[in-house]
Structure 1
């Protein structure tokens, strides 16, 4: 009988999972329900196997010791995270696509032509932001609609602009209940006038509907049990993670996983949720529930649960039918996600929560509980992963007591199976380090919102996510960065102490010292990347387009053909043209016309230029950029570009 060394046997499960991921998964269809279920079971098996091992073999004996406190607290945090992941795995085992239903029901839309009230709630957005949304709504191919700007900023200049465009400007005497209160005030006004529409479409002030937004979404309402149709949110500018890491064209925005993969999976279970903007709700459904709920700052998510109580479902149409502005600043990015977290905790404590006595199906309760677990576990766990290794380096506390071969045998296949499953259902969206950075950067604020929301669900002011503004210089977000800088310094200091002293990093630590060393080095990479995100780079052109367009440029009477790679209302970017800063030229853009431009940046046969547009050209450009069929931004991960972008960013520091 041949006996293999323990360390060699320990690699077998990981090699098996890696073989499945590399050799089998790429040739299978992620839309096949049986295949999704099989990969889900693979990930679930190794997750449970790992969790049992962690709780039975790697924790310190129970007692009043620092080792026991640290070991068990971290294990329980990790266990809650694994349970949350198992819930997400189960949801992702299904998938539903409704485009076929929309195609089949288009004749119904043409025949009935239901009326739609389009509401755009606004508070302090600039005209350059609102202009896009209104131009897109006006350019829609669907005609039986009215457009209403609900202005909680009560701005006279906006009333005048709305009058020029022929859309209604509505104000109210107070700002009670934020966005939901603003919309409800207008719904009451419609009833008072006797102008009840068939449907209400909700657009954020920075979201532009495509030409076919209304026809495609309305088609699903041929099914009278559907109370609300939600569509994905796509973004035409990079979010702070993409932009500040220099990976805008090789890594999708942070919300792509949820909108492109989690929502269709939720729809497969009939638990898709409303996400506010780019949604349409049936008027009779709103009347049945007494308009938009106001007991949560995320009234959109709660709207789904309240509609379910009255027998209405939420349908998800996974088509790029609108596009908007992602938060450009890191503070705004974190504020937005903290608000989502707080709102979800308010829902948990509400009559629409998982423990409510209201008539909710088990799966609807599970839906809210799954989201609650995500916010309560994911972000505290990221903080714990940074903090707990420090206990070893400075206090000699062993958090995970296990030989290396067992870590390889249990953690290795668990981590790989999770990656295989998530990347199978999402076409490679799960990228280590980058994924950790995106979660760690706002982990402190989000964790605080989660705990605060559960303990004290009410009495919190609605915080608006600021959009637009001047972002033409480097800004270091020191209040956010300093905690990561402190963690980085402490980690490096602890590592140096351990490696240069026999006090901790000696034979008494056993093989666990290799685990803690790897864990520490990984944390340093994540912390370094997170600090880079806190260094906000200037934004010149901000529209992400995957396909450059060839245009004609006239310079000193000479015509040239170059590539237009970026353009917005104030600037454009050209490739294949070398001109000095300050040089004036003319650019002919299809669909917009002749544009006067002046070079502001010239580098390697590429230029950025300031442009001047007429009012008509601004409208034409908005229609060209934002109302056509298709998705802006980056849809998937480009591994080579991602690696190159991160490397350039690390080397360049704050210089782009």
Structure 2
């Protein structure tokens, strides 16, 4: 039978090739064009043309140049179309790729060129796209002209006289302005729109925001924030007034849960905009040249169970800080009461303080040290944070300049990869979880005099600590609570966003989560015991900054709600958003796009789009319980020390940590399968809402897949962490020859160098390494451990204490050691970030297969095949080179 069918097809193909000519083919396409043009279906024509070309290729042999050009062009524009051509999968691929080519590609190679007689419908579509781009460019030029003219007008004499008029100081005028602004917002938020009006309204806002994203300056940022606040508030108003299903108890209860989660997200969004709308970017204040006027400083290095190898570098670097020796005292605060630490402190000449108990953990340790030291200021470093020599000169000027300053905080910088960076292999490619806080939020807090004390890399004024009774001991986050108390007492805080120390990130995902659990519990305890919204001493801005910090750690329940919300309709047929499909689409999708565009502009260098959801999803389940318990019983829970300096010497998958993500992932994957069945065999009236739920569930699967990928602990090859570097040095060979080199990386026991010549030395050769600190030059005995072209690896051996100090001063303690790290990241591109998260999610599924027990591998393999198949349907970038065969 199959042979007969094949024979029939070949006969039909022969007949068509004999009797039908190119003229008839053109005539068929012309008829299709007339039909589509008559019915105003230009876009549909653009989608259908690839299908028609593919279909016609079945019957017409491409034996002339024009047809070959068509075939080559299609092969270029649709690179992922597989054989055989006519399949359901290829139909979906062609449709999605056509949408991608028509709406998202801007290069001329991406447009569909059929022949000289191509369709006028496509010409009209291209004209429409060009018109949209032209409007976008004109808006961009207009906005740039507005902002530039506004900046120029501020220097105009008339403008200055006008802006300095007394009328602008009128309290009544201020009240009238804010009332008018509030009325305008209320109108835009609450006035009901028809579907058409909402579509026009949100399209205009998106067009303005899309054009503004490339305009430099704060006014453009404020405008985008205003638009984002308007659209998100309008969405929330619509949700409260029009989308609750009061006739279905299950849908109502689940819908209210989602609405509360969305309300939480809206509050955090608004507070985040307020917090970061105008980062201060404070600069260091120079000190007086007369060092005799400089104050005395005590350096505290608290430690409990960390190994001596971790503490050693920090203590030596603290001794090397550029400060008068008679005004600088370094102390190791050992709560572990270990004899080897006491001996080390005595050997290098620093103080050693211990106590008989461990009451109140780190806060109690530092309070005890305050009773036996007397410096005017206290600098604090976690035992793994190695300070650079310029630390005090970069921070102490703030205290000298203003006697009310009680705290100067600098960023926590990490030279080792955290679990996200190491396990996902994106170290120094994507900003880590901490960068948003230390790169942007703390600068925003500083603008509102609400800088947080972060427990390390900071200097505090002893008098301010004495006034509040020492470091706070009531919560497990003694740092933030201490800053809050000093601010309540009327003191000021400052933030210098220049890395002046670097340390070790958490070594494993479990340790990372344990650290975040402590932070979350502590912030919830502060919320209960010393709520910044209540009590005296804080202004409104300070209260809002602290509120946002505390709400951030209450994200556990809302995040789990978002990860499961689309399953309500899929599993239980519960309409948690009780509205027509078109209304849901017009309110949700544009609002999310608007918020993403705005956040990308504000946070672009410090947090890439979509990665925040991955971080929150990893932590959500684990911070849910401690924060809830702390809200009801704030005295429950104890301080847990984050382990540092460990070595993960085996690659493994942390099944215990990943259980919650895998469970949520299975719920969404099974829900997607069930949704497909309902889509094929269910009621046609539910297709729209089912598609939205499936789209949402697909996004959740992507986020959870990335969360699953983080749990695959990568093997740590080196026992010591390598730090990238780029500064000059030299080596002296055994024959006395000295060669200039570039230091490319270093660790506490080795150095990587680059020379100008090949094969300068061989493995195991003894080489003298020359490095400088200021005008002083030091030499270190090393051995060549590996060579490759112009690259060499040197190992340090048998360094005495003085040589160890000198090596740390020349490497980790360099004043410019960490200045370039924050500049390595380009501005966020949401499409790029989405693709990175998507492929990270695929890696998560592959990790599950690789590490899964043999009994579960078939099931996980099937799920992964489904995910990979769905990924194969997505649009692909066209091939760059077009060469017709």
Q: Which bracket does the TM-score occupy, shorter chain normalised? A: 0.7 to 0.9
Query: Is it true that 1:366 corresponds to 2:554 in the alignment?
Result: no
User: 1:293 and 2:472 equivalent?
Assistant: yes
Comparing 281-290 with 481-490, greater Cα deviation is found at 481-490
- Correspondence for 1:238: 417
Work out whether 1:175 is the aligned partner of 2:358: yes
Distance in 2 of aligned mates of 1:462 and 1:315: 27
Q: What are the within-5 Å matches in structure 2 for residues 390-401 of structure 1?
A: 390-401=567-578
Cα offset for 1:457?
0.6
Higher helix share: 2
Partner of 2:604: 427
1:68 to 252, 257, 267: 252
Q: How many angstroms apart in 1 are the aligned matches of 2:523 and 2:197?
A: 45
Cα 1:558/1:583, change in 2 over 3 Å: farther
Partner of 2:228: 43
- Equivalent pair of 1:229/1:279 in contact (CA under 8 Å): yes
Kept in 2: contact 1:552–1:559 (CA 8 A): yes
Offset from partner CA, 1:92-114 (integer Å, 9 cap, x none) = 12221321xx33x4228845210
Tell me, which stretches of 5 or more residues in structure 2 are unaligned? 1-39, 44-193, 772-778, 851-885
Deviations 1:470-494 (A, max 9, x none): 1232132111112212222222222
Secondary structure of 1:148's counterpart equals strand
Closer, same or farther in 2 for the Cα pair 1:389/1:211, shift >3 Å? Answer: same
**Could you say what secondary structure the match of 1:486 adopts?**
helix
Give the TM-score normalised by the residue count of structure 1: 0.87
Measured after TM superposition, the shift of residue 372 of structure 1 is: 2.0
Q: In the aligned structure 1, how far is the partner of 2:732 from the partner of 2:593? A: 51
Other-structure match for 2:119:
none
Once structures 1 and 2 are overlaid, which stretch shifts more, 491-500 or 450-459? 491-500
State the Cα deviation string for residues 301-326 of structure 1 (Å, max 9, x = none): 11111112221111112222222222
Q: 1:649 to 1:451 in 2, by over 3 A?
A: closer
Q: Which has the higher contact order (CA 8 A, sep 6+)?
A: 1
RMSD: 3.6
- The worse-fitting range, judged by mean Cα deviation, of 199-208 and 46-55 is 46-55
Give per-residue Cα distances to partners, 1:186-221, cap 9 Å, x unaligned: 11223xxxxx21111111111111111111211000
Aligned twin of 2:282: 98
Deviation at 1:364, TM superposition (A): 3.2
1:25 aligned to 213, 218, 234, which one? 213
Structure 1 stretch 366-375 or stretch 398-407: which is displaced more? 398-407
When residues 292 and 651 of structure 1 are mapped into structure 2, their CA distance, relative to the original with a 3 A threshold, is closer
Instruction: Say whether the 8 Å CA contact 2:707–2:841 is kept in structure 1.
Output: no
Kept in 1, the 8 Å contact 2:361–2:639? The answer is yes
SS of residue in 1 equivalent to 2:783: strand
Shift of 1:279: 1.1
Q: Which residue of 2 aligns with 1:193?
A: none
Give the number of equivalent residue pairs: 635
Matches within 5 A, 1:400-479: 400-479=577-656
2:296 aligned partner = 115
Shift of 1:147: 0.4
Equivalent residue, structure 1, for 2:558: 381
CA contact (8 A) 1:383 1:440 kept: yes
The residue that corresponds to 1:522 in the other structure is 699
Larger Rg: 2
Distance 2:438 2:701 in 1: 31
Contact 1:499 1:505 in 2 (8 A): no
Whether the aligned pair in 2 keeps the contact of 1:544 and 1:634 (CA below 8 Å) is no
Distance 1:330 1:458, change over 3 A: same
Output the CA distance in 2 between the equivalents of 1:509 and 1:7: 19
Determine helix, strand or coil for the equivalent of 1:26. coil
Aligned to 2:263: 79
* Aligned: 1:254 with 2:433: yes
How many angstroms apart in 2 are the aligned matches of 1:300 and 1:563? 40
CA distance, structure 2, for counterparts of residue 445 and residue 496 of structure 1: 28
For the 8 Å contact 1:308–1:360, the answer to whether it is kept is yes
Residues 508-548 of structure 1: per-residue CA shift (max 9 Å, x gap):
42411121111111111111111110011122353453758
Provide the TM-score with structure 2 as the length reference.
0.66
Q: Give the whole-Å Cα distance in 1 for the aligned partners of 2:843 and 2:767.
A: 35
Aligned-partner Cα distance in 2 for 1:448–1:605: 54
